[in-house]
Amino acid sequence: MDAVPPSEVTALPDGTELVVPQPALVGQEAFSREGALDFVAYYVQLMEYAYTTNDHGLLRSVSEDVCEYCAIQVEEIDGNASRGNHFGNLELWFREAMVEDFDEATGLATLTFSFGYPPYQLVDAAGQVLKDFDAVESETLEADLHWAEGRWRVQYVEHHADVP
Domain ranges within the chain, ordered by starting residue: 7-160
Nearest residue to 23 via CA among 54, 71, 59, 73: 59
Query: For 7-160, CATH number?
Result: 3.10.450.50
pLDDT tens digits, 32-59? 999 999 999 999 999 999 999 999 999 9
Please indicate, yes or no, whether the overall pTM of this predicted structure exceeds 0.75.
yes
φ/ψ of 75, rounded to 5, equals -60, -45
Yes or no: say if 79 and 51 are a contact pair by the CB < 8 Å rule.
no
Taking only the tens place, the pLDDT of each residue in 6-22 is 344 454 455 555 567 78
CA angle (87 as vertex; 29, 25 as ends), nearest 5: 10
What would the pLDDT profile of 63-75 be if each residue is shown by its tens digit?
Answer: 999 999 999 999 9
Rounded average pLDDT over 122-148: 95
